[in-house]
Structure 1
Amino acid sequence: MIKSELVQIVAARNPHLYHRDVENIVNAILDEITDALSSGNRVELRGFGAFSVKNRPARTGRNPRTGETVFVEEKWVPFFKTGKELRERLNPGMDDEEDDDAD
């Protein structure tokens, strides 16, 4: 799903809102998540998951085409951890099996 599809779905579920307003709302939410992550904060959406930023230290890598050794600089990358409700929806019945194994 791309952002425009998300806007269309939200607008269809909320016919009392103008399409441009829904687009502004979706953009505002994504901008706030981006701003929080760029500030080093964590964003948690209960039942869905949590966005955070992790540091990848500098390392020596390899160019796959030439085999040449290259230096890869330190970088910060976004990380997403799914929430319990999302995991349960993606894997129905998995928790029942885990509970049986725990006995």
Structure 2
Amino acid sequence: MNKSDLIKALSDRGDMPLKEARAAVEAFFTAMEEAILREDRIEIRGFGSFCVKKYGAYVGRNPKTGERIQVPPKRLPYFKVGKELKERIDS
């Protein structure tokens, strides 16, 4: 499912015009993006949680040459599936 499929589903199930559904989905994703950029944790009960994980610097190797390289620290978004969703998928 992509964003346009999600907008269509919201419009159909929510009995709302496509324009309103698009605005709702855009607002939802914008709010989530802003929270992630602030490094806030987002928790949607029954679905999962989003957070930013921080990884420290380390020495890696170039797979082609074998040369050692310094990999800088980084921050990446992380999603952890919720217990209820995990159980529904597993059953």
- TM over 0.5, yes or no? yes
Q: 1:6, 1:40 → 2: CA distance?
A: 25
Please give the residue correspondences for 1:1-103 in structure 2 after superposition, counting only pairs within 5 Å.
Answer: 1-15=1-15, 17-92=16-91
1:22-44 deviations in whole A, cap 9, x for unaligned?
Answer: 11111111111111111111000
Q: 1:47, 1:6 → 2: CA distance?
A: 18
Secondary structure of the residue aligned to 2:87 is helix
Q: 1:67, 1:47 → 2: CA distance?
A: 45
Secondary structure of the residue aligned to 1:30 is helix
Shift of 1:13: 1.2
Structure 1 runs not aligned, ≥5 long: 93-103
Q: 1:20, 1:31 → 2: CA distance?
A: 16
Secondary structure of the residue aligned to 1:66 is coil
State which structure, 1 or 2, has the greater radius of gyration over its C-alpha atoms.
1
Instruction: Kindly report the root-mean-square deviation, in angstroms, between the aligned alpha carbons of the 2 structures.
Output: 1.3
> TM-score scaled to structure 1, two decimals?
0.80
Q: 2:40, 2:11 → 1: CA distance?
A: 30
Q: Percent identity?
A: 40
Shift of 1:58: 1.0
> TM-score scaled to structure 2, two decimals?
0.89
